[in-house]
């Protein structure tokens, strides 16, 4: 019973870590593209998101590979959830034409 609760809490922690990581990535892309200093946004976000995720995995694992594996599963599940929730529903209004390197007649 105790092991089941431990694995379920590891799964839940993995989902939370994944939502923070991938939700933060989505938020960073939206902010960074419109920023005057996108490199600062992307680098700062990467460092913050990786620090949170690694610290979370370290705390959840506590030397047990089973907890770490279940936490990773929750992280991947969160990726699928965030990917579905942030799907772009509109088609782009501007479609660039293909570049042609052949000389025009």
Predicted TM-score of the model (pTM): 0.79
User: Does residue 4 lie in a domain region?
Assistant: no
Range of the domain at 60: 11-85
pLDDT tens for the chain, 105 residues long, are 688 999 999 999 999 999 999 999 999 999 988 889 999 999 999 999 999 999 999 999 988 999 999 999 999 999 999 999 888 766 656 656 666 666 666
Contact criterion met (CB below 8 Å) for 14 and 61: no
User: Does residue 102 lie in a domain region?
Assistant: no
Integer Cα distance of 15 and 76 in angstroms: 8
User: Does residue 30 lie in a domain region?
Assistant: yes
Per the structure, the count of domains in the chain is 1
User: Does residue 91 lie in a domain region?
Assistant: no
User: Does residue 79 lie in a domain region?
Assistant: yes
Integer Cα distance of 71 and 16 in angstroms: 10
User: Does residue 92 lie in a domain region?
Assistant: no
User: Does residue 62 lie in a domain region?
Assistant: yes
User: Does residue 103 lie in a domain region?
Assistant: no
């Amino acid at each position: 019973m105790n092991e089941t609760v431990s694995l379920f809490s590891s799964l839940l922690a993995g989902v939370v870590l994944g939502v923070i990581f991938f939700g933060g990535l989505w938020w960073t892309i939206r902010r960074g593209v419109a920023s005057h200093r996108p490199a600062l946004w992307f680098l700062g976000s990467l460092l913050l998101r990786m620090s949170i995720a690694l610290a979370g995995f370290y705390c959840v694992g506590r030397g047990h590979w089973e907890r770490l594996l279940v936490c990773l599963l929750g992280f991947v599940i969160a990726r699928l959830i965030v990917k579905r929730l942030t799907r772009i529903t509109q088609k782009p209004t501007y479609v660039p034409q293909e570049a042609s390197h052949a000389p025009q007649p």
